[in-house]
Amino acid sequence: TVRFVDPKKHYQAHKKEYDAALEDVLLRGDLILRKDLEKFEKRFAAFVGTKYAIGVNSGFDALHLSLKAAGIGTQDEVITVAHTFVATIAAIVHTRANPILIDVGKDFNMDVEKLKAAITKKTKAIIPVHLNGRICDMEAIGQIAREHNLIVVEDAAQALGAAYTGKRAGAFGLTGCFSLYPFKILGAFGDGGMVTTNSKKMREMLRMLRDHGQDRAKGAVMLYGFNARLDNVQAAILNVKFNYYPSWIKRRREIAKLYYKKLRHIRNLALPHFEGKEYFDVYQNYVIRAERRDALKSYLTRKGIETLISWQKPVHHQKGLNLQHFRLPETVRLCREVLSLPLNTELTDEEIADVCAAIQNFYDTHKS
Ligand SMILES: *Cc1c(COP(=O)(O)O)cnc(C)c1O
């Protein structure tokens, strides 16, 4: 079988280092808001290219607390896309603001033309989602935001290390929001998240919001907060993983190139390689658009190849969410066509070749 992700194999490959880091932090008894977290935050901010980074409990918390800290609330409108993980939209709804969903373009990211049309007097913020490890058109989005005096909160949960004209995801907006969920490229052994910002005021707010509203230095409770800290044991693990991060991005880009080389002549597919040499993509996911997608997926499953569909059903068609009034044809079309191929740093070139051969074989033998 070719695994979509392989956490066990990953742990075995780095076991000595992870075990040593765990033993070290546990023997020190450093569990909450300790030096491993501070160190990780510093390294994270330096990597993204912002002054500050604030560790939180999840990507959802990063988004939710960013909006809270920026003062988003009742009556406000926040524009984002429907072609995202539901957490992006949930973060808006939990501030009591209204999510305004727009469609995406060929690169799966926010369609800037649709953005202009969606702005009203109530619009307060935009959340561009850098999907699959590719940055949105931040030049255009930044310009629109400045013209209309809107806050930009980046959903960079899938884009740590992705860049546009050399500037990294999370360094464009008022804040950048990252997920350290186990199956993100940089994943903890549990949940985790991070906010990046250049604003000292946002940093202070976020540090209080994640910690029950406390200002620990003052010994005071300043506001009603949440419990949304990134715990120190996870930070100790993440400090080990972060050493490898550049090499993991390199490998992911290699795998993406390999897929491109072996799949590009199959006319039933559209591959995720888009125009613009100023973009540096990290391939959180390798998402193809495929004719007869569901049959292809079943065929690959029978061949022992794990794939994933993100997302089978557009989020605005989920009945429980009250978003059915949006009309987003490109988002709907994508949900019928997308298929994520295995992409993890444990994969070998041979396994990639097997995946490609199986896809080729499907289209050779299943002529429509
Ligand atoms: C993973 C993800 C999130 C949520 O992150 P969690 O850590 O799971 O809360 C938000 N947005 C996008 C685009 C994601 O991929």
- Residue 96's Cβ-count burial label (10 Å; 0-12, 13-18, 19+) is exposed
Q: How far is the CA of 206 from the centre of ligand 1 (A)?
A: 18
Give start and end residues of each alpha helix (H) in the chain.
7-28, 35-48, 59-69, 86-93, 112-118, 138-148, 200-209, 232-263, 293-302, 329-337, 349-365
Q: Ligand 1 atom 3: the closest Cα is on which residue?
A: 59
Distance 293 CA to ligand 1 centre (A): 24
In angstroms, what is the span from residue 60 Cα to ligand 1's centroid?
6
Atom of ligand 1 nearest to the CA of 58: 7
- Asked if 260 and 236 touch (Cβ cutoff 8 Å), the reply is no
Spatial contact of 59 and 194, defined as CB atoms under 8 Å apart:
no
Residues lining ligand 1, CB < 6 A? 58-60, 84-85, 87-88, 129, 155, 157-158, 179, 181, 191, 193
CA of 318 to the centre of ligand 1 (A): 18
Contact present, 130 and 155 (Cβ < 8 Å): yes
Amino acid at 94: H
pLDDT digits (tens, 9 = 90+) for 211-240: 999 999 999 999 999 999 999 999 999 999
DSSP state of 2: B
**Looking at residue 82, what is its pLDDT?**
98
Reference 176, options 201, 193, 200; nearest CA is 193
The percent of the chain in helix, strand and coil, each rounded to the nearest 5, is 45, 15, 40
CA of 364 to the centre of ligand 1 (A): 37
CA of 176 to the centre of ligand 1 (A): 12
Please report the pLDDT score of residue 366 as a whole number: 86
The neighbour count for residue 30, using CB atoms within 10 Å, is 18
Best residue among 181, 282, 283 to mutate for probing ligand 1, ranked by most atoms within 8 Å of CB: 181
3-state secondary structure of 108: coil
Q: 77-98 pLDDT, tens per residue?
A: 999 999 999 999 999 999 999 9
Candidates 68, 71, 88, 70; CA nearest to 80 is 88
Please identify every stretch of the chain with a pLDDT value under 50, giving residue numbers as ranges.
none
Q: Are strands 151-155 and 123-126 parallel, antiparallel or unpaired?
A: parallel
* Alpha-carbon span 301 to 307, nearest angstrom: 8
pLDDT number for residue 368: 67
The best mutation among 60, 129, 132, 234 to test binding of ligand 1, ranked by most ligand atoms within 8 Å of the C-beta, falls on: 60
Mutational pocket test of ligand 1: of 88, 93, 177, 231, the residue with most ligand atoms within 8 Å of the beta carbon: 88
Nearest to 48 by CA among 135, 140, 137: 135
Measured CA to CA, the distance from residue 95 to residue 106 in angstroms comes to 30
292 Cα: distance to centroid of ligand 1 (angstroms): 28
